[in-house]
Amino acid sequence: MFLVIGAIFLFALLVLNVNRTILQSEGQQRSAEYIVMATSSAQNLMNEISTKAFDEGTISLPVYSADILTLEELLGPEAGEVYGNCGDDDGEDDDDGEDDDDGEDDDDGEDDDDGEDDDDDGEDDNNCFDDIDDYNLFTRSDPNVRGGTFNLKVWVNYVNDNNFDVVMSTKTRTKRIKIAVENPFMADTLYLYNYKSY
């Protein structure tokens, strides 16, 4: 009798362990899938940021001295610059001759008293993010069909030109783009880094 009870007990333990192993591997599989999706989400944003100019000062001017670069404490979008406010169908003014009260120019050939040119030369007309540090402290939530939004946050800092691990409070010729991604189904925050030198 004790032998039977012992056998049943051992069998139950075995089933419990098998179930636990299955659950663990399912959890690991889901975690791995989320890491892949989080990486993809961060990589998309990183690609977008990396296409921008090194600095507002380098958009149209060659830089011979770091003096022209943005001060460390001012790393961020310039006055009037709004994310997503450039390109097509993104909330940009639609040339209807009316200002949309967003401070953006409407390509109507008239200056809008913002001190920027309105001459359709592609410069300074659309007030979108145009240099990498405009994304400093930028946040975005990417919804995920599998559940659990990916929350992204960006930091852009000057780093030591000879040691990219050292964040600097002075202007340098190298900027670090750091993106953090969080998701309730991931145990840890995922970080992606890229460096741009001028």
Q: Which residues are at the interface with Ca ion (CB under 5 A)?
A: 56, 78, 130-131, 133-134
Q: How far is CA 2 from CA 8, 16, 19, 99, in A?
A: 10, 21, 25, 87
Supply the minimum distance, in Å, between the C-beta of residue 102 and Ca ion.
16
Distance CA 98, CA 38 (A): 41
Query: Which residues does residue 168 pair with via DSSP β-bridges, in sequence order?
Result: 158
Between 41 and 126, CB nearer to Ca ion = 126
Q: State whether residue 141 is helix, strand or coil.
A: strand
Between 34 and 135, CB nearer to Ca ion = 135
- What type of residue sits at position 159? V
Supply the minimum distance, in Å, between the C-beta of residue 100 and Ca ion.
20
- What type of residue sits at position 141? S
DSSP 71: P
Supply the minimum distance, in Å, between the C-beta of residue 93 and Ca ion.
18
Supply the minimum distance, in Å, between the C-beta of residue 79 and Ca ion.
9
Closest CA to 150 of 192, 182, 189: 182
DSSP 53: B
Between 109 and 115, CB nearer to Ca ion = 115
Between 62 and 143, CB nearer to Ca ion = 62
Supply the minimum distance, in Å, between the C-beta of residue 129 and Ca ion.
6
Describe the chain by its helix, strand, coil percentages, rounded to 5. 30, 20, 50
Between 92 and 190, CB nearer to Ca ion = 92
